[in-house]
Structures are given as structure tokens and as C-alpha cells.
Chain A
Amino acid sequence: MEETRTIPGALSNERLQLAIYASTKRLMDHRSGAITPELLGDYQELRTQANALKKHTIDNLDYYLEMVEERVTAHGGKVVFCETGVEVSDFILKLAKERGARLIVKSKSMTTEEIDLNERLEDHGLQAVETDLGEYIIQLIGDTPFHIVAPALHLTRYEVADVFQEKLGVEKETVPEKQTMIARAVLREKFLAADIGITGANFVVANSGAVVVVENEGNARLSSSAPRIHIAIAGIEKLIPRAQDLGVFLKLLGRSATGQPLTSYTSFLSGPRRGDEIDGPEEFYLVLLDNGRTKLLENPDRRQSLYCIRCGACLNHCPVYRKIGGHNYPWVYSGPIGAIITPQFHGVSKDPWLPFASSLCGACAEVCPVKIDIPKLLLDLRADVTKDKEQKGKSGSERLAFRMFAWMMRRPKAYAMAGRIGALFAPQGSPWISRVPWYMNLAPIRAWLSQRDLPPPPPKSFRRMWKER
């Protein structure tokens, strides 16, 4: 497997750069094509509505959690609240044991990636098969998803051919259509033999006790309909109040993610089969996961981090993501949304560099369907990082530099003097500067010069020119 997991590696991997660039560009173009004034004249109004609905739900989350629990129960299902990922897998292992279940089919769910569910289930002798094509390939390789919506974005057909040959024992096949059919045949057997189907949930509808699962392949429909038991796993933040609110959210999700007004399948599932329904699961469980989300609820400014509907638009538009790729983020959630939720879940001292890995261009906020102010949260987290470092006595030279900066910027004469002194030391006369004398070779200057030239200091500052005009 080619290098994707370091920043220099990703940057120098030309094929990867092309793959990321082309894929994200395609998704960006599809999105903008789907939200033109002719097709979606009230796009901006929808974003405002979506933000308001999410705010209302999150600000009253306990009320809606109890509502969904009541509704699920009324329809013959069961809600299981889990504080941690371990509790989720414990619940599933216990249920599987009680039911004699051994084979599980799974449709794509970032929440289950977050808690490493498959690993834990496999450790206890269950087989948990990913059925989304991209996730299936990733699972065979033993890799992690590269993008929230396109997990195998970084792979070529040749890499897929190799892994199918190695892991499935089939002849080497490099045509994507044929590769897909190979996977389809293998997975169909699994769907029909599986004891348990696990899905995620794009939305959890409080007044209906329902999960909404949005997909293009059909594997979520199969995972939720073929096995006897359907378990839907969702973070507590996935709630929306009413089925009618899907009018807002579904209009935004497909278009923001892939440019589709609606994906091939949108399932609205509210429990085990009932009445005279012929097929469908006999048992339905909705697992509602905390895993640190309640921490993010505490700060009213930062609660908006939980509004995310996992469309991936921020990834596609982020110039940093488009260069470093999903594997260079420390957690399963990558891109701008990953950059703001990771420090809030794990604490700022774990990956203190992450909030700074952004030029604050704001492209993410511009495209976020639920109007999360990602740049503001990045700035807030940066302040958290410096405070954290100060409290731990790890401030270093940067704090000193900014103290001096502030000191100087309040004293115009000192500032002007510093300017004149600095100009004296810098190389004069050359158009732009490629190297500096040893005494100027500080880390920031070295870093700058590693990529581009420095401007030559002018003979006079503006203030001198102005004075002398």
C-alpha cells in the first residue's frame, strides 16, 4: 500500500494527490449543480431551517431522547442507551449469545468505526462483514476509511484486484464493474445467512421512533430486512424532532454529499415487522450512544459541533484535506468536522496541532448544510491549546514571542524601531530572497523558505515614506 499516512508522504504521492483532487472536485461540482437557484431556490433558507431544527433538538435533547424511546417501544422495538463503545459491543455480544447468532452483516456507519465495533465482535468469535462496497474492500485490506462518504477513495482498481485475489481466492479482475459483481455475489450469501444486521442511522426521528438510513447500494436495506435481528446504532446527536423535518434534512444531505436530490434508497424504519407484514426483522434495537457527546453539550457555543449530518461537504471543499487526505487525521472523523470534534472528544492536549492545521479559509462553513461555524470553533480550540500548554508549563518560545509582539504593538515607537532594526539585518537589494544569513535562520524563516522566497525589506517603511513625502 502506498504512503498515505504521513503528510509528506501524502503530498509526494502523485497518484494519491490526483485521486483526492479528482474525487473531491467531482463531488464539489455535483453538489453545486444540485443547489442551483433553478433546482433549489431556497437552499440558503433550508440551511437556516436545518440549523434552527438541530439547535432546538440539541438544546432539548433529553426530551427527544425520551420521546424516541417511548415510540420505539410502542412499535415493538427496544432502545438501548450506551455510554461507551464497550457497552455497545457488550450488548451485541450478549444478544448474539442468547440468540445463537454468529454472522453479522453491517452497513456503513461512522459511529461503529468510532467505537471499533468490528474488532471487538471478531475478538469474541463473531463474524461481522462490512457490506458497503468501499467499506468491504477496506475491511479486507485491514485499513481505515479515507473519507466519510467515499471510504476507498485512495485505492486504485489494481489494488482492489490484488486484495480480492488474495482474500477471496478469485482470479485477478481489474474491471470495476466486474469487481463489483464479485463483491455482490459474496455479500449476497452473507446477507441471506446472517443472524443480525447492523446499520447506522443518518437521522433518528423522535416522534416516530424511527431511524432513517440513506444509501445508494441497497446493502442497508438488506442488512435491516434480511436478518432476524436489526440493530441500528446512532450517536445521541442524530435525533430530529419530526418525520416532517426530513423535508429539510433530506433535501440537504444528498445534495451536499453527492449532488443527488435523493439517494437510491432512503429507508424509514420503525421497528420489527408488524401486523400482516410478510418480511422484515423479528426484533429491532435502537442503540443510542454517548461516548463523549454529552461533553460537547456543555458549552453552548460549541454544541453546534453536534449538528453535523455527516455529508462530507466540508472535506470535499477543504484545501488542507484535499492535500493531506483522510488518513492524516488522528481519528475516524477527518476533514474540518474531524478537526473540531476530535479535540473536544479527546482533549486538546492529545493532538494539539490539529486545530492549527487549517488556513481558516472558511470554505467549510460556506458549504456546511447545518451552518456549523467551523472556523470559529477552530479559533476557540486554538485558544484552548495555548491555555492548556500554559497550565502545563509547556508554553515555550512561541508564547514569549507573542508576549513580545503584544508589548511592541502597544508601543508605536518600539514597533517602528524594531522595523528599522529588522530591515538592517535582512539581505538588501535582491528581488526576492531564497536564503538568509545564519543569524536570521530561525525556525519560522526556515519553514517559509522551504517552500517559497521571502520579500526583500523595502528601503523605507510606509510610515517613513509618508513622513518624508
Chain B
Amino acid sequence: MSREAILGRVRTALGRKAGQLPGAIPDAYLRPPAIDDLTGIFCVVLEKLGARAYRVSSMADAREQVSVLVTKKTSIASNSAVLTECGVTGLPGVRSGVTDKQELRDLCASAEVGITSADFALADTGTLVMLSSGEEARMISLLPPVHVAVVPASRILSSLDQLLTTLPLPAERTSSMVLITGTSRTGDIEQILVRGVHGPGEVHVVVVESAQKW
């Protein structure tokens, strides 16, 4: 069998025996930076990536901001409690509460805007961290040409290093963790930057700075 053949060759080449433990492994090297103003830095970096950041101080304001972005458009929203809480799911033109895979895919394929929250955000790279779950489906932040995310400020971490410190085993939580940093883009034709190749070309993040921890 190929498995045995390959493992056998590996062991022979390395001079190791089956079941032999490895030598000492270098410590994990994680150096989260100290950032005071997580929200501020996140928004600055996000805008540098060509996405848009909006800071609001209440869920009601978040709803207001989102409604501006989705007015007169068809939208599909995830089942995140954050979106229900701020009332985005009640906006005109917004479908939500979908749990059927095919129905969701069809809606995502035709919607103009996909609305999600995010499980974490990373300040120093302007990144949204999306874990696939019953609340957040993969396609909503992927198929529609515009992605709007409503993110409580308390979910903003400093960095990838802090994410991996907080969540050292993402695979135990989800089959898919995606780090979204800016918009879909390519430079494949004459190195000219084009946005929105397959994923969304527009990304809007509404950061809700309220006392409540989400």
C-alpha cells in the first residue's frame, strides 16, 4: 500500500522507527503586539486595504449604517445573533434565517449584498475572522459582490498571534476558519490591480463600540 511504502521510505531516509517520538520541538513563537486603540488601528488598516470602516456606538446606529449600504439592494444576511440584535435582519430587502444549504446558495448567488458578523477581527492586519457555523455560513461573505460585516468592538484582537493564542486549535471548533483581509483582488494581467475577481470587490465593516461584550 502506498501509505506504508511512503511512511517506510520516510523512516528509512530519516533513520527513524515506527512509533518513535520526535525530538524536542521549538516553542511556538507568538508575539502579539501591544495595541492600545484596537478599534482605531483596525479601521485605519482596513481602509488602507481598500475596504470601508464605520464606527458606531450602538446597535441602533449599526442598523442605520447598514441600511444606508443596502438600500434598494437585495441582501442575504447570516444567522448571527449580532445581526438579529441590531435589527439588520429586519431591513427591507434583507433575507435571513436560512438554514437550507441549496436555498442559501441560490440566494447568495443572486444577492447584491452579503451581511455577516465576524467571530474576531485582527487590528494590525485589518482582518475579519469568520468561523463557519450554524450562525455564519461560508457563502454569504463570498458570493455576493458586496460584503457588509457588523462587528462588536469587543471582538477585535490585536493580531494573528493573539488569535492563535486565544484559539490554538481552530479545527476543534469549525471545519472552516477564513481570515478575510480586504477585498478580493488580482494582478494577474500585466500586474494591474483589479478588485472583486471571485470574492466581493467591496467590503464594509461596521464596528459597534458599546459596553456590551459580544
Check A-B contact in the complex, CB < 8 A.
yes
Q: Which residues of A contact B (CB under 8 A)?
A: 19, 22-23, 26, 42, 45-46, 49, 52-53, 56, 59-66, 71, 75, 81-83, 87, 131-134, 137, 150-153, 155-157, 160, 176-177, 179-180, 183-184, 187-188, 191-192, 205, 207-210, 216-219, 221-222, 224-226, 236, 241-248, 250-251, 260-280, 284, 288, 290, 294-295, 297-298
Q: Which residues of B contact A264 (CB under 8 A)?
A: 180-185, 199
Verify B197–A26 contact, CB threshold 8 A: no
Verify A184–B170 contact, CB threshold 8 A: no
Is B34 part of the contact surface with A, judged by Cβ < 8 Å?
no
Q: Distance (Å) between the CB of A51 and the closest chain B CB?
A: 10
Cα separation A129 to B192 with both chains bound (whole Å): 23
Verify B168–A244 contact, CB threshold 8 A: yes
- Known pairs A53-B26, A60-B22; A280 contacts B171 (CB<8 A): no
Decide if the interface of chain B is mainly helix, strand, loop or mixed. loop
Verify A262–B197 contact, CB threshold 8 A: no
Verify B7–A65 contact, CB threshold 8 A: yes
Q: Distance (Å) between the CB of B198 and the closest chain A CB?
A: 4
Q: Distance (Å) between the CB of A240 and the closest chain B CB?
A: 11
Q: Distance (Å) between the CB of A274 and the closest chain B CB?
A: 5
Verify A217–B189 contact, CB threshold 8 A: no
Verify A261–B125 contact, CB threshold 8 A: yes
Verify A279–B171 contact, CB threshold 8 A: no
Q: Which residues of A contact B198 (CB under 8 A)?
A: 131, 184, 187-188, 191, 217-219, 221-222
A176-B190, A247-B161, A266-B181 given; 13 more Cβ-contact pairs under 8 Å: A46-B29, A60-B22, A64-B22, A81-B3, A133-B188, A137-B188, A177-B192, A219-B197, A225-B176, A243-B169, A276-B134, A277-B134, A278-B137
Verify A56–B14 contact, CB threshold 8 A: no
Q: Which residues of A contact B11 (CB under 8 A)?
A: 62
Q: Which residues of A contact B199 (CB under 8 A)?
A: 217-218, 221-222, 264-265
Is B175 part of the contact surface with A, judged by Cβ < 8 Å?
yes
Chain A CB within 10 A, most for which of B10, B16, B105, B133: B10
Verify B6–A279 contact, CB threshold 8 A: no
Q: Which residues of A contact B206 (CB under 8 A)?
A: none
Pair count A-B, CB < 8 A: 264
Verify B26–A216 contact, CB threshold 8 A: no
- Known pairs A63-B21, A264-B199, A266-B178; A26 contacts B191 (CB<8 A): yes
Is B138 part of the contact surface with A, judged by Cβ < 8 Å?
yes
Q: Which residues of A contact B13 (CB under 8 A)?
A: 294-295, 297-298
Contact with A along B149-188 (1 / 0, CB 8 A): 0000000000011001100111100111111111111111
- Known pairs A152-B188, A187-B198; A271 contacts B175 (CB<8 A): yes
Verify B9–A294 contact, CB threshold 8 A: yes
Q: Distance (Å) between the CB of B150 and the closest chain A CB?
A: 19
Minimal Cβ-Cβ distance residue in A for B102: A279
Verify B171–A71 contact, CB threshold 8 A: yes
Q: Distance (Å) between the CB of A197 and the closest chain B CB?
A: 12
Is B31 part of the contact surface with A, judged by Cβ < 8 Å?
yes
Cα separation A228 to B168 with both chains bound (whole Å): 28
Verify A132–B133 contact, CB threshold 8 A: no
Q: Which residues of B contact A61 (CB under 8 A)?
A: 10, 14
Cα separation A265 to B143 with both chains bound (whole Å): 14
Q: Which residues of B contact A59 (CB under 8 A)?
A: 14, 22-23
Is B20 part of the contact surface with A, judged by Cβ < 8 Å?
yes
Q: Which residues of B contact A87 (CB under 8 A)?
A: 2
Minimal Cβ-Cβ distance residue in A for B188: A134
Cα separation A131 to B197 with both chains bound (whole Å): 10
